[in-house]
Amino acid sequence: MVVPKINLDSTADVDRIDAGGMLGILYGLPDQFLAGRKIAEQTKLAALDRKVNLIMVSGVGGSAIGGDLLRVFLGTRASLPVLVNRDYQIPRYAGKNTLMFAVSYSGNTEETLSAYGHARDRGAAVIAITSGGKLAEWAKRDGVPLIQIPGGLPPRTATGYLFISSLIALQGLGLVADTTGEVDETISLLSELRQQLAPSCPEKDNPAKQYANQAFGKIPVIYGASGTTEVVAMRWKGQVNENSKALAYFNILPELNHNEIVGTEVPPELLRQIIIFMLSNPDDHPRVKRRMELLPELLGNRVSAVVTVEARGTSQLARMFSLTYIGDYFSVYLALLYGIDPKPVHIIDTLKQRLAER
Ligand code: F6R
């Protein structure tokens, strides 16, 4: 079912469909960095009493993606491995020398609460990041350091708070060198970028509105690059799922050049319903850049379009978050074109309720 599209420049239509106010919430992302940094800096963390050899972020959905972004960000600057654990359990090799962030925005997600229990049993150093719920209760009960961020947001829109809290905690513990310059650049870049992405900016100057119109009636497939935009591609996919209530897929270069590109021959009528977004970042490996130049040529006639989206900014962090922000707005505009309120995620809520029954 493809409904007639609204005009994204019509304030009345946009406000009517965006009943939960997602566009207003997205606008607050740079402010989350500022406020989250302050909260994390004010949270007293005792010096680590052990040598840490693994940083782990345990969470799911919107609470895990900040950990993924952290993993990629630290991949170029931390001497320790960073693992994102999306499970009830933690890996066998995680133990006393692991520092685990238990991250659940609501504080009530069963996978994260379970991983918290396992990490405590194994003697890992644990830091809880949440807006409240059982995780906050348990952390207080157990004397576990707690970074408590403001509540009331859909978890997937709290990425600024969740990312910056863990980064500042790692800096405070001396596990990551100072990143103040990059964080400052990210805040000012996102503050500028939101002017171009917000509903008040007309479609002719607003890339997120343009991408949404191009993707309307199509299945978005998002390509990122290993070590730079792989997680951002996953974020775009997740945001299309949760905000637009539509399927989307992602894959990573260069790996996809060795399998997925072959699968673009049949069935042609379905392939014409696919739109590929390639996330391009100056930090990509030079050979990956060359691959991205070749893909539109090789795939352009097989799918409906191959669209390249460029990162903005000069630092790694600003580039990562600029693409993230464009994808967030894109997915919300796509929801509005389908006549869907982007905020509620009824099927997740229903599933959680059903799981709570037994
Ligand atoms: C909803 C969302 C979900 C949740 C997930 C886990 O906006 O993004 O993916 O993040 O269901 O819940 P929390 O984040 O509360 O642990």
Q: pLDDT tens across 248-301, in order?
A: 999 999 999 999 999 999 999 999 999 999 999 999 999 999 999 999 999 999
CA of 303 to the centre of ligand 1 (A): 32
Torsion from C-alpha of 111, 140, 25, 178, nearest 10 degrees: -100
* pTM of the predicted structure, to 2 decimals: 0.97
How many Å lie between the centroid of ligand 1 and the Cα of residue 65? Answer: 10
> Which one of the listed residues 51, 204, 258, 346 is annotated catalytic?
258
Q: Which domains does the chain have, with CATH numbers?
A: 11-19+199-337 (3.40.50.10490), 25-178 (3.40.50.10490)
The predicted pLDDT at position 302 comes to 97
Question: What are the CB-based long-range contacts (under 8 Å, 24+) for 90-95?
Answer: 90/56, 90/58, 90/115, 90/118, 90/119, 90/122, 90/124, 93/54, 94/54, 94/56, 94/119, 94/122, 94/124, 95/122, 95/123, 95/124
What's the pLDDT at 4? 82
131 lines ligand 1 (CB under 6 A): no
Residue 2: the pLDDT is 58
CA of 146 to the centre of ligand 1 (A): 19
Q: Which ligand 1 atom minimizes the distance to the CA of 60?
A: 6
Tokens of 12: 């009345």
* Regions of the chain with pLDDT less than 70: 1-2
- Concatenating the DSSP letter of every residue in 6-25 gives PPTT-HHHHHHH-TT-HHHH
Residue 59: strand, helix, or coil:
coil
